[in-house]
């Protein structure tokens, strides 16, 4: 459990009172970073992401904040809300649904290995949507779940966001391909916290790989979109990645560091593996100073 989060220190102010041998990252006008008081005397990692939030997963107390109220596109992080709304609807997850022309991406013109005509149980479509961020699977789930189709489903997503107190969030589609799906790190932490209450979401977002049979009777191998899950070195209870050009590389997760569950939100990281590098930097920073933020009893 985190200790003594009575106040916050801007790191540039903390630098003036550092103990011998310690240092703190200066506060820049364009890059305001705040850390919990107990961590202010240790150099915080310089992260590539535009927005970052690390919370104590038990108490909700913040450990690291960077532009947490900056609203921006969230790409496939959207699919966590899609999954919650689907499960809340009570629709039969064992029923088969099929991919149709309606699932072809006419926004970003992305490709998919789920060919038109692919038929799978809803539960398996949900697995592909959450594990591999399969857009056609998410779109088919939204189209078939409710009377009124996708439009009614997206309305439910926005209703759910309001119920969760996500006041700076809006959804326009169930996949995240629409750049108008926007949120903040603070709101997405609320969404991660809510998604933890769904065992199926926890299971599917942390599944490493899965095979399906294609319409041409070939075996298709799908892998988790998150390298940290595939590597198996993290204790991750729930996660989701996202990427479109407008959103950059994004990641949210609930992971245990030491013995402490954390909610980590990383938005608009740089290219390639920068979101993974940012997550590793956060973990290393915390593990280097466990006496400062992790209870010893």
Catalytic residues: 76, 79, 133
CA end-to-end distance (rounded Å), the chain = 9
CA geometry: angle at 282 spanning 256 and 246, to 5°?
105
- What is the spatial distance between Cα 112 and Cα 146, in angstroms, rounded to a whole number? 24
- Give yes or no for a contact between 45 and 284, defined as CB atoms under 8 angstroms apart: yes
For 23, left (φ over 0), alpha (ψ -120 to 50), or beta? beta
261 and 286 Cβ atoms separated by less than 8 Å: no
CA distances from 194 to 31, 44, 72, 191 (A): 29, 28, 20, 5
Cα–Cα distance measured from residue 89 to residue 150, given in angstroms and rounded to the nearest whole number? 13
Q: What are phi and psi of 159, to 5 degrees?
A: -60, -45
Q: What contacts 267, CB < 8 A, 6 or more positions away? A: 49, 50, 51, 52, 70, 72, 74, 185, 188, 247, 248, 250
CA dist., res. 47 & res. 1, Å (int) = 25
Question: Are 94 and 121 a contacting pair, CB within 8 Å?
Answer: yes
DSSP-H helix ranges across 146-245: 149-163, 185-195, 199-205, 227-231
Cβ 278 vs Cβ 254: under 8 Å: no
Contact 141, 122 (CB under 8 A): yes
């Amino acid at each position: 459990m985190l200790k003594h989060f009575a106040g916050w220190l801007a790191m540039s102010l903390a630098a003036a009172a550092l103990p011998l041998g310690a240092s703190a990252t200066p506060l820049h006008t364009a890059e305001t970073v705040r850390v919990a008081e107990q961590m202010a005397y240790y150099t915080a990692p310089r992260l590539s992401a535009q927005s970052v939030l690390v919370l104590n997963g038990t108490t909700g107390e913040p450990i690291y904040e960077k532009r947490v109220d900056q609203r921006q596109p969230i790409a496939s992080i959207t699919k966590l809300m899609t999954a919650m709304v689907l499960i809340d609807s009570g629709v039969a997850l064992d029923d088969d649904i099929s991919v149709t022309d309606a699932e072809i991406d006419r926004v970003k013109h992305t490709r998919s290995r789920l060919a038109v005509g692919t038929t799978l149980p809803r539960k398996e479509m949900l697995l592909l949507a959450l594990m591999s961020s399969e857009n056609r699977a998410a779109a088919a789930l939204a189209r078939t779940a409710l009377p009124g189709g996708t439009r009614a489903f997206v309305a439910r997503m926005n209703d759910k966001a309001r119920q969760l107190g996500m006041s700076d969030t809006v959804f326009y589609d169930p996949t995240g391909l629409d750049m108008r799906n926007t949120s903040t790190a603070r709101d997405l932490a609320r969404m991660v916290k809510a998604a933890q209450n769904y065992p199926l979401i926890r299971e599917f977002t942390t599944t490493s790989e899965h095979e399906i049979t294609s319409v041409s009777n070939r075996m298709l191998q799908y892998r988790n979109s998150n390298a940290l899950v595939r590597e198996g070195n993290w204790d991750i209870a729930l996660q989701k990645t996202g990427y479109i050009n407008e959103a950059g590389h994004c990641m949210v997760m609930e992971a245990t560091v030491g013995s402490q569950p954390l909610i980590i939100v990383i938005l608009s990281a740089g290219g390639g593996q920068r979101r993974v590098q940012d997550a590793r930097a956060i973990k290393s920073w915390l593990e280097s100073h466990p006496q400062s933020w992790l209870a010893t009893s």
